[in-house]
Structure 1
Amino acid sequence: MDPKSRPEPTANDLELLDLRSKDVDKKGATTGDAPSDSTPAEDESSYPGPSRRSLTVIALLLCSFIVGMDQTITATATPYITDEFHALDQVGWYASSYLVSSCLCQLVWGKIYRFFTLKKAYLIAIVIFEAGSVLCAAAPKSAVLILGRAVAGVGAAGINAGYGIILTRLVPLRSRAMYDTWGSAAYMTASVTAPLIGGALTTKVSWRWCFWINLPCGAVTAIATILFVKVGQGHTQHQLPLSQKLKEFDFLGTCTMMGGFACVLLALQWGGIVYAWNSSVVIALFATGGGLLVMFALLQWRLKEKALIPLRILGQRNIAFTTVYHILMGAGITILEYYLPLWFQAIEGATPLSSGLMLLPIIIAGLVSALAVGSLISWLGYPQPFLVAGAAIFTIGAGLLTTFQPHTERAHWIIFQIFAGVGPGLGLQAALMPVQVVLSDQDVAVGIAVENFGFVLGGALFIPMAQAIFVNRLISGLSRIPRQSARTGAPLSTAGVNQILAQFPKKSRPKAKAAYNEALLLTFWVATATGILSFLVGLGVDPRISVKKKQQ
């Protein structure tokens, strides 16, 4: 037969070749959720040497750093942004637009990394992230800032997914927990410094420099990636022609998922603020979103291996439980990251810079605990106990934050933040490990994308919920307090965070501050509820899973 007349290989054909080329010793390994004591040790001879590995990891850590910085750098600048754009009712979108786009694109990036060269895909993610930063920095109005945050979220999704996937080609499984910890350390170090940098830039220059600063950082990261990241072809799916690769993408599923979540999030954002909860607009959004998500679920069941989320992966017990764990814990910590600065600036009267300093306990606690748990998991092998312990400690910390009052002592809010930071540091780091144990090498990319999807989905869903609760309670509480006559006509929902208290005479400001405090505490209660649920979900993860035994 003429070679030119042969049909192009499909993704399934190439996956069969991958499976046939596996080491003979692995043929007897079991598949499923329960570990097998007879599973052989992993062959580590195919991984790159220490020098190449170190240079590659440095480039990856730089990427994690700029994404981590972008996640929290606006936390201390948000009150000033709302002052300039007069958009308190849109403050939730500054977070949720970034989180929603990042969330919805996690699964798409999982497919991209599976079928395209890792290095090129990673660089494209960096470019998209930088483009979003430029839009934010130059935004003339609130809507453009929200759009820029959404574009940056698309790039951030690719960077986050790429780190974990590239590590699977660089580091043996038994050592991977430590390298995952380094990524978390870079992310959290950025989170530690970002509120301080953001506060300083906002106070001394402008909040816009919170985004301009990403350009030089991103340029350095891109150059480092070009020079040092030298990950090979990996799986044979990279060799498919472009037409065949595109056939493997679930475009209809992607559209139905994005449309469904967009409708639900709009309903959560608008409900009780722009429209009444029982209005036709909110009901239609919920109904449309629910219908699209049901359609998305049916498509995943029908498409099987070509689905955006193959059900054989999500259907595994440990993947399902760790994904839900990521959703809940991601929701809780994101709520605290965005609403604690509001409490410090509105209640304590802190500047953006000082509110960044006040956030150090929760962020440093998370960093230290993440570093510790990586070493402990590499030594002990079992991640499940740390999931449970992390959720329990976070619940205690978030619950203590609900006791805040306008005159809460400094020592108290420092200790409460430490508890709230240690929990996610332990739990989220541990929750990343089961996917790398129970899934095959070909499925790890999709599995990691699903876990990242869960983490960002939590923030994307619960930030609008917290925002609706916060704004409704704040407006309800403040509307009962007389404002200065000259400002009575200014709607509270369109005022800036720092402008609200100025609308009240001095003798009424303690009451206004108490109403503000009460509204913010409700968001902390939402975080506490997610902690309780994540504790229960963590109990469902198989305690026998060990990073010292790779399942096939």
Structure 2
Amino acid sequence: MAMDTSGNSDAASPTTRRTPEDAEPSVVALASNLDIGDPTRYVTGFELGFLVVSATLACFLVLLDVSIIATAIPRITTQFHTIRDIGCSSLQPLTGKLYSYFNIKWTFLALFLVFELGSLICGIATSSTMLVIGRAIAGLGSSGILNGGLTMIGVEVSTDKRQLLLGICMGFTQLGLIGGPLIGGALTEYTTWRWCFYINLPIGGIAALMLFFTNIPDSRTTVEGSLLRTLISKLDLISFCLFAPASIMILMALDWGGSRYPWGSAPVIGLLCGGAVGAIIFALWERKVGDDAMIPASVIGKRQIWASCLTSVFLFCTIMTASFYFSIYYQVIRDTTPFMAGVKMLPSIVSQLVFTMIGGFFVQKLGYPISLAVVGGAMLAVSNGLITTWSTDTSTVEWAGHQVLLGAGRGLSTQIPITVVQAKSEPAMMAVATSLLVFAQTFSGAIIIAVANTIFQQVLSNGLHSQVPQHIAEAITRAGASGVRQVTPTEYVPVVIDSYLNAVISVFYMGVVGGCLMTISAFGMHGKESRKT
């Protein structure tokens, strides 16, 4: 989606442009103004190559980090008995403003360093607590990397090269998400699951060094006043301080409910009530602040933008459930190795890649045909419904065919929400709107995993305790996913595997619901479609 860079803009050149103190300039709006100025201010030559490669590698690692542990989860749960990945998605809406008011290069490197530190802690973790802390730190850093990488290319690359290089960056970055289970399976089986985190260090080091030695012009908005005043007034830290505790309480309640505490227990109810009250206070504050808010009402109030966010949430539901629970199905129920579990996910990976390119072709030619999202949602609902029919001996043709349909649905629809958001946002709010969409995906991803885990654990626990002696059920639970067959007496293996199968299948009903809701929400994105001219 090309940005508006016409000469009819009222903005002056970047060297003379002044912004009123109460205005909220964005990185994208500034980038549009830069097109009018001196073209020599852009990064060129080998430094342009360094910039694009480093940003692409960093974004690749972030998406790889999301999916690479899917095939390693059974091994990790065997050693640590549990894994909780509490992300810091609440920081995501703030990152667009960070890049607007602070040096983009050093802000990006600082966030990337935090991500690398979290990966190191995960790699050397000796306990569940240490692993959780490492994942939280990595999530804190990664919350601004995707936004920052694409922003650097959008601001610092000239108009004639921008769309091509953004396409290359986004295309290569997607390989991290769809290839993560395969890479994670290979590392887990032939080395150790710790390399799922260590892999970020050498690749990340190369990316950081390349960016460090790249001279990037400072394109941030100049704001008069002290650093403290900028932090408080422009970044809306009050909103962040209100929203972060509310989101954490909600995630903790979903994580603890049904596993550590009963759903009706005081801790779970207290956390849910606290999160709800915090969310209400946050919403009231956002309304008071107006367009200077972390999530402005002028952005989220647009039908096509909130419909795009909802569509992305439902799409992400189908992605997250498949990424994590395909692995458990193949490793526990079909008794395959982590690497082969990753290999058996290839039908959905390849079909998603192919249909993403097909969807991109239609977007380029037609603008943003919402029919692709509608069809994609229907395909996701049908494919997840077919997956719920899987058994312990489902044929290769069946499970591979169902995966192909699943990947095709995701590929066709994945580009539509972001295209609509960019098309329907005012230039000054495009960065904020994009950050909102990414936030919707990351925050909903954390909720989806928590809900899916609750469903899985509840169904599994009910199945085990109804069919095997209590002491055996407890031993199976303590053994972790990859230790099921080793600790289960031979006579109980079939019923235990059936219990695991029922638990996995129950999770994929979430995918059916997600696909149906996505089909409905996609109609909300309808509007006057922008066509390429």
TM-score of the two chains, using structure 1 as the length reference:
0.85
Q: Distance in 2 between matches of 1:354 and 1:310?
A: 46
Choose the corresponding residue for 1:301, options 283, 287, 297.
287
Q: Does 1:379 align with 2:365?
A: yes
Distance 2:424 2:224 in 1: 26
Matched residue, 1:441 = 427
- Alignment equivalent of 2:22, drawn from 9, 12, 16: 12
Residues 1:164 and 2:164 are matched in the alignment: no
Q: In the alignment, which residue of structure 2 is the partner of 1:137?
A: 123
Matched to 2:479, the amino acid is A
Match of 2:523 among 536, 539, 542: 539
Q: 1:234 to 1:546 in 2, by over 3 A?
A: farther
One-letter amino acid of the structure 2 residue matched with residue 341 of structure 1: S
401-410 vs 42-51, greater mean Cα deviation: 42-51
Does 1:508 find its partner at 2:505? no
In the other structure, the counterpart of 2:219 is 234
Which amino acid in 2 is paired with 1:293?
A
CA 1:273/1:418 → structure 2, altered by over 3 Å: closer, same or farther?
Answer: same
Matches within 5 A, 1:96-245: 97=86, 100-101=87-88, 103-169=89-155, 180-228=166-214, 230=216, 232-234=217-219, 236-237=221-222, 241-245=226-230
Report the CA distance between 1:476 and its aligned residue.
Answer: 0.6
Amino acid aligned to 1:255: C
Q: Distance in 2 between matches of 1:544 and 1:345?
A: 47
Equivalent position amino acid for 1:81 in 2: I
Q: Deviations over 1:148-181 (max 9, x none)?
A: 1111112211111113323432568899776554
Matches within 5 A, 1:32-431: 48=42, 55-85=50-80, 87=81, 90-91=82-83, 93-94=84-85, 97=86, 100-101=87-88, 103-169=89-155, 180-228=166-214, 230=216, 232-234=217-219, 236-237=221-222, 241-246=226-231, 247-431=233-417
Q: Check conservation: 2:239, 2:294, Cα contact below 8 A.
A: yes
Are 2:331 and 2:337, in contact at CA under 8 Å, matched by a contact in 1? Answer: yes
Q: Tell me the amino acid that sits aligned with residue 523 of structure 1.
A: V
CA change 1:204–1:161 in 2 (3 A) is same
Report the alpha carbon displacement of residue 276 of structure 1 after superposing the two structures with TM.
1.5
Contact 1:185 1:370 (8 Å CA) reproduced: no
Kindly tell me the number of residue pairs found equivalent between the two proteins.
Answer: 511
TM-score after normalising by structure 2: 0.88
Q: Distance in 1 between matches of 2:394 and 2:139?
A: 35
Question: CA shift at 1:110, angstroms?
Answer: 1.8
Aligned partner of residue 480 in structure 1, secondary structure: helix
Distance 1:48 1:377 in 2: 28
Give the counterpart of 1:479 among 445, 456, 465: 465
Separation (CA, whole Å) in 2 of partners of 1:174 and 1:219? 30
Q: Contact 2:185–2:339 at 8 Å: present in 1 too?
A: yes
Quote the Cα distance in structure 2 between the aligned partners of 1:142 and 1:58. Answer: 34
Secondary structure at 2:69's aligned position in 1?
coil
Gaps of 5+ in 2: 1-17
Identity of aligned residues (%): 28
Give RMSD over aligned pairs. 2.9
**1:388-431 per-position Cα deviation (integer Å, ceiling 9, x unaligned):** 23222222222221111111111211111122122222222221
Note if contact 2:120-2:197 (Cα within 8 Å) is conserved in structure 1.
yes
Q: Residue 514 of structure 2 is aligned with which of 530, 538, 552?
A: 530
Deviation at 1:384, TM superposition (A): 2.5
- Using the TM superposition, give the Cα deviation of residue 190 of structure 1 relative to its aligned residue in structure 2, in angstroms: 2.2
User: Do the aligned residues in 1 keep the contact of 2:123 with 2:198 (CA within 8 Å)?
Assistant: yes
Separation (CA, whole Å) in 2 of partners of 1:214 and 1:311: 37
Match of 1:458 among 410, 428, 444: 444
Deviation track 1:117-169 (CA, whole Å, cap 9, x = no partner) reads: 22121111210110110110111101111111111112211111113323432
Gaps of 5+ in 1: 1-7, 24-41
Structure 1 residues 14 and 149, CA gap change in structure 2 (3 angstroms): closer
Q: Partner amino acid for 1:316?
A: K
Alpha-carbon deviations, 1:345-402, whole Å to 9, x = none?
0111011111111111222222222233223312222342322232222222222211
1:152–1:116 Cα change, 3 Å: same
State the Cα distance separating 1:45 from its structure 2 match. 8.7
Measure how far apart 1:19 and its partner are: 9.0
CA positional deviation for 1:449: 0.8
Higher relative contact order (CA 8 A, sep 6+): 1
Local SS of the residue matching 1:403: coil
Aligned partners of 1:244, 1:271: CA distance in 2, in Å?
A: 41
Which residue does the alignment assign to 2:472? 488
- Indicate the residue corresponding to 1:5 in structure 2: none
Q: 1:488 to 1:435 in 2, by over 3 A?
A: closer
